[in-house]
Structure 1
Amino acid sequence: MSSIKLYYYPASGPARIALMAARLVGVPLQIEIVDLMKREQFSEAYLKINPQHCVPTLDDDGFILSESRAIACYLADKYGTDDSIYPKDIKKRAIVNQRMYFDCSTLLVKMRAICHPIIFNIENEIKENLRDDFNASLSVLDKYLENNEWVAGEHVTIADTTIFASMSGIFAAGWDLSYFPNIQRWLKNCSNLPGYEEIKEGAKIYGDLVKKNLKQ
């Protein structure tokens, strides 16, 4: 198998989603750093690859794909050898997809509403309504985990790597998870997954950016 290129920036949650999915599937990657802080995503060369000028982008022997969850699904479908990671069974797959959509349409949106104004120095504190809104969605995630070891059932899937990588930045910023025992247990399970340490390094960068601008 020839090496697949992943255009990546460690502080980017979506980029970490694609990376951790690849690690779970076991597919080799050639990592190409696109430094968002230096605006390398707007370079002429990168815009030819991805006109949306975002990370991640996958280049699999000339097949170009962006959007982290699409990349995760593609890698699992093409290179996965364990059907449980992204099940072929239509109902089991639907649950995995639903969990990933829940992340991108709800968890990620609410996390960004909190973190991005702080990272970009617009705010220096977390508004109570945003905190409550995000915690309400974490309560849903905690409920999904109430009778399951993993977010989509009994087996680890790309839904787990997606939600973990996506939320790892705000967790690294020190979000209070004391009300979410099932999430705490799940995070311990995630620490044994392939790529965990790489994801943790990128999440720390994101978390530190948040903590730096928070009013003490």
Structure 2
Amino acid sequence: MTIDLYYFPLSVPCRSVMILAKYLGIHLNLKQVNLFKGEQMQASFKKINPQHTLPTIDDNGFILWESRPIMIYLVMKYAKNDSLYPRDPEKRAIVEHRLYFDIGTLFENIIDCYRPVLIGISDTPSEKYTALIEKAFELLDGYLKDSRFVAGNELTIADFAIGSSVSAAKAFTFDIGRYDNVVTWYEYCERVMEKCGFKDTYKTIGDFYSAQNHKNSNT
């Protein structure tokens, strides 16, 4: 099976989809869209995705965007069982909750905090969001208090999404060492997803952040 993935290498949501696809054994035909050059606004891409967002997939004519629905779709269509996205209503509800927590709290505050550095307008992150990130990590640490993974004791798509967000936070120099449960879980994710390119997220984004930070401090 081959699915077209429109992506940008520095996009955290794109990375989570790429890691999950590799975990599932899905071959992706990667089509890079350079956000910095505004390629997402080209008519050819807007015809595919009128919201011009990444990631976007084209699975034999089925077009879908937004990383979390994409991950749900990939698991429901191509996974060998339902462990990554359980059919059980209660288990699935917890997975859904963690996905919403990621997009609305954890990932959102991480990006808002470090955006000034990423877009080149400052050499320091926004202090306004630092406390919000810390609160999000406190919540995440609590979720992991009595479970091996973020939505229970089985690996789910929530771990792919939140794992990518935490990897980005680390790459942006946020210290996750204060959250013992998060550290234990994150290290386990590194091992479980090692062959899927999990560590590539940290390196790719970390190298760019360091270069951008250096560039901003010298302008």
What's the TM-score once normalised by structure 1's chain length? 0.91
The one of the two structures with greater contact order (alpha-carbon pairs below 8 A, sep at least 6) is 1
SS at match of 1:10: coil
Runs of 4 or more, structure 1, over 6 Å off, are none
Aligned counterparts, 1:76-91, within 5 A: 76-91=75-90
* Structure-2 separation of matches of 1:24 and 1:197: 6
1:141-180 to 2 correspondences below 5 Å: 141-180=140-179
- Over the residues paired in the alignment, what is the CA RMSD in angstroms? 2.0
For the 8 Å contact 1:21–1:72, the answer to whether it is kept is yes
Q: Take 2:196 and 2:93, find their aligned partners in 1: how far apart are those partners?
A: 29
Matched, 1:213 2:210: no
Q: Could you tell me which residue of structure 1 aligns to residue 130 of structure 2?
A: 131
Counterpart of 2:213, as a letter, is: N
Shift in Å at residue 129 of structure 1?
4.0
Q: Is the 8 A contact 1:3 1:30 kept in 2?
A: yes
TM-score, normalised by the number of residues in structure 2 = 0.90
Say how many residue pairs are matched: 215
* Alpha carbons 1:13, 1:167 under 8 Å: kept: no
Q: Is the 8 A contact 2:116 2:125 kept in 1?
A: no
More helix by share: 2
Distance in structure 2 (CA, Å) of the matches to 1:138 and 1:48: 38
TM-aligned CA deviation for residue 127 of structure 1: 4.2
**Contact 1:24/1:193, CA 8 A, preserved across alignment:** no
| Deviations 1:1-24 (CA, angstroms, capped at 9, x unpaired) | x31111111100111122122223
For 2:130, the aligned partner's letter is: R
- The Cα of 1:194 is off from its aligned counterpart by 3.7
Unaligned runs of 5+ in 2: none
Unaligned runs of at least 5 residues, structure 1: none
Q: Percent of aligned positions with the same letter in both sequences?
A: 38
Change (3 A) 1:128 1:116: closer
The farther-off stretch of 159-168 and 69-78 is 159-168
